[in-house]
Chains A and B, each alone.
Chain A
Amino acid sequence: MSAIAISRLHKHYSTVHALNGIDLSIERGEFFGLLGPNGAGKSTLINIVAGLTRPTRGSAAVLGHDVVRDYRRARRLVGVVPQELTFDPFFTVREVLRIQSGYFGLGRENDAWLEELMAALMLTDKATANMRALSGGMKRRVMIAQALVHKPEVVILDEPTAGVDVELRQQLWRFIRRLHAEGHTIVLTTHYLEEAEALCGRIAILNRGEIAALDRTERLLERGIGRTLRLRVTTQAPLAGLPPALVPKLRAQDGNRLELQLSRDTDSVVAVLDALRAHGATITDVRTEAADLEDVFIELTRAQRP
């Protein structure tokens, strides 16, 4: 049985088609990445699985329980960390967790687990602090604890590391890896390719409400996805022309600034710079960036063309 089974799922808002017929099956124990640019439909998709949004057509089920018809059992099996940093300013950390645990039908017998969760997420000394008094990072960790109060088998994290500093990101990664090692199925949305690369066993790339690619992470990378590099070069004076070998790699040119797209596997930054120098350019600044998802989509759509 799949941890999450999504079949022909559509979500239409008055004019926008947020999801356009998604079919997806995520197996138990997977570490699954859901990637896509803003507005691709990632959040809509997981909101439907979580029961926060009703689908227009099609169905979604968690461990065999339909998220609409059998919502009670479906919701007991899934823990969701929402993307927006939100909190209830009336309560303390411990109160928030007890209340959340109570919603799931769990009483005081669950308190030991709540204390364990607080310890694991380094919240114990803030247990009696009001939510308002917490830093952004602590609020984020409380949200993760809230998603786990009922020990759900499936854990969905909607961009947990968006706007998070490096240290917290490392902590969160460690914690999520631990959950996965303990047997939870993890679904992570992100728009950082490197994050998905580092954590996920399988990746779906969503674009305009459709699945643009779905494969094991290493297979996607083998296909060249994510193997591009952006090179920005600033020269002293605007160049009259480019060495012919570099013309196909040019993405943008603005006066004395060039932006080139290179393959991490077949191109060499040094060779490109040498070619420019040989062409008479005096280079004043060089910057490289890993490809972002936009590049991946360009690659994907290119690949799809006959």
Chain B
Amino acid sequence: MNVVGFRTLFYKEVLRFSKVWMQTVFAPIVSSLLFLIVFGHVLGARAEPYAGVSYTAFLVPGLMMMTVIQNAFANTSSSLIQSKMAGNIVFLLLAPLSYLEFFAAFVAAAVMRGLFVGLGVYAIAMWAIPVPFHNAGWILLFALLGSAVLGALGVIAGIWAQKFDQIAGFQNFVIVPLSFLSGVFYSLHSLPVFWRGLSHLNPLFYMVDGFRYGFFGVSDVSPWLSVAVVLVTFAMVSTLTVWMLKTGYRLRD
């Protein structure tokens, strides 16, 4: 194993987003807090989604997870498409890194960015809105798994896309709708039966729901079911990613 190589690629990917932190870390935190202010203000008077949990408190973990998800995806997909378009990906492809090291380093950096922005949202929101901590283990687990799935999905998008347009399309027509419809802003119990059933097909729902369980100890579905669904999703997405890297799909044609 090329441990130093893996560590270097991970470090390089983290360094890349930290050098432009205003855009990659600070901006998503700000937009997430804007959602919190606007939705919290407009809908704050609504009935409590769960007994004893105010709507604004309910919103905080959802927005954290949405930000984690979107930024994990953005990190890998934009890094890959940029270095593909600029051509400098060649220096990475010349290196003696295995496809697993490649995969792990990219996904780990995406997780890192996800955790940064998630923590940032929490660190600011906690001053205004008290959110309980039911179980830190579930919180961390879902944050890690959620950002890993989306980081891997970003690798797929970054390898598949041949122009920036296609990445934007993937982001706007897949990632954003799925994350908005994952129960960030509402409890699935408030939805009509048809939409509730449809939401249960969205893997991002389980990430948000399980993550929220970690804070409140209540959720729409059991956290065990959520963790199972997210794990299966991760297995599927990473198998596809690793297969693409192993065969050299669109990278070593």
Q: Which of B47-55, B89-97, B130-138 contacts A (4 or more CB under 8 A)?
A: B89-97
Q: Which of A22-30, A47-55, A213-221, A281-289 contacts B (4 or more CB under 8 A)?
A: A47-55
Tell whether B169 is near chain A: CB-to-CB under 8 Å.
no
Given contacts A86-B86, A90-B19, is CB(A76)–CB(B252) below 8 Å?
no
- Chain B residues touching A, majority SS: helix
Q: Evaluate contact between A105 and B88: CB separation under 8 angstroms.
A: no
Min CB distance B128 to A, Å, is 35
Given contacts A54-B252, A89-B86, is CB(A99)–CB(B12) below 8 Å?
yes
Tell whether B5 is near chain A: CB-to-CB under 8 Å.
yes
Q: Evaluate contact between A90 and B90: CB separation under 8 angstroms.
A: no
The CA of A95 and the CA of B16, in the complex, are separated in Å by: 11
Q: Evaluate contact between A52 and B90: CB separation under 8 angstroms.
A: yes
Q: How many A-B residue pairs have CB under 8 A?
A: 78
Q: Which one of B5, B15, B88 lies within 8 Å of A103 (CB-CB)?
A: B5
List the B side residues contacting A89 at CB < 8 Å.
86
The CA of A233 and the CA of B3, in the complex, are separated in Å by: 65
Q: Evaluate contact between B4 and A72: CB separation under 8 angstroms.
A: no
Residues of chain B at interface, number, CB under 8 A: 29
Min CB distance A92 to B, Å, is 10
Tell whether A100 is near chain B: CB-to-CB under 8 Å.
yes
List the A side residues contacting B96 at CB < 8 Å.
71-73, 75-76, 103-105
Given contacts A103-B9, A146-B91, is CB(A54)–CB(B15) below 8 Å?
no
Q: Evaluate contact between B252 and A103: CB separation under 8 angstroms.
A: no
Tell whether A82 is near chain B: CB-to-CB under 8 Å.
yes
Tell whether A4 is near chain B: CB-to-CB under 8 Å.
no
Min CB distance B81 to A, Å, is 14
Q: Evaluate contact between A104 and B5: CB separation under 8 angstroms.
A: yes
The CA of A50 and the CA of B86, in the complex, are separated in Å by: 19
Interface residues of A in 113-137 (CB under 8 A from B): none
Q: Evaluate contact between A102 and B4: CB separation under 8 angstroms.
A: yes
* Smallest CB gap from A102: residue in B: B8
* Smallest CB gap from B98: residue in A: A72
Q: Evaluate contact between A100 and B95: CB separation under 8 angstroms.
A: yes
Q: Evaluate contact between B98 and A106: CB separation under 8 angstroms.
A: no
Q: Evaluate contact between B92 and A103: CB separation under 8 angstroms.
A: yes
Q: Which one of B2, B3, B11, B253 lies within 8 Å of A54 (CB-CB)?
A: B253
List the B side residues contacting A107 at CB < 8 Å.
4
Tell whether B248 is near chain A: CB-to-CB under 8 Å.
yes
Question: B4, B88, B98: which has the most chain A beta carbons within 10 Å?
Answer: B88
The CA of A95 and the CA of B96, in the complex, are separated in Å by: 19
List the B side residues contacting A87 at CB < 8 Å.
86, 88
Question: A72, A76, A87, A90: which has the most chain B beta carbons within 10 Å?
Answer: A90
Interface string of A227-261 (1 = CB under 8 A from B): 00000000000000000000000000000000000
Q: Evaluate contact between A84 and B87: CB separation under 8 angstroms.
A: yes
Min CB distance A86 to B, Å, is 4
Tell whether A167 is near chain B: CB-to-CB under 8 Å.
no
Q: Evaluate contact between A51 and B93: CB separation under 8 angstroms.
A: yes
List the A side residues contacting B8 at CB < 8 Å.
99, 102-103
Tell whether B239 is near chain A: CB-to-CB under 8 Å.
no
Q: Evaluate contact between B248 and A88: CB separation under 8 angstroms.
A: no
The CA of A52 and the CA of B5, in the complex, are separated in Å by: 18
What are 25 A-B contacts with C-beta separation under 8 Å? A51-B93, A51-B94, A52-B90, A53-B252, A53-B253, A75-B95, A82-B87, A88-B91, A89-B86, A90-B16, A90-B19, A91-B12, A100-B91, A100-B95, A102-B4, A102-B5, A102-B8, A102-B9, A102-B12, A103-B95, A103-B96, A103-B97, A104-B95, A105-B5, A146-B91
Give the A-binding residues of B (Cβ under 8 A): 2-5, 7-9, 11-12, 15-16, 19-20, 83, 86-88, 90-98, 248, 252-253
Give the B-binding residues of A (Cβ under 8 A): 13, 50-54, 71-73, 75-76, 80, 82, 84, 86-91, 95, 99-100, 102-107, 146
Given A71-B96, A84-B90, A103-B9, 9 more pairs with CB closer than 8 A? A51-B94, A52-B94, A72-B98, A75-B96, A86-B87, A99-B12, A102-B7, A103-B8, A104-B96
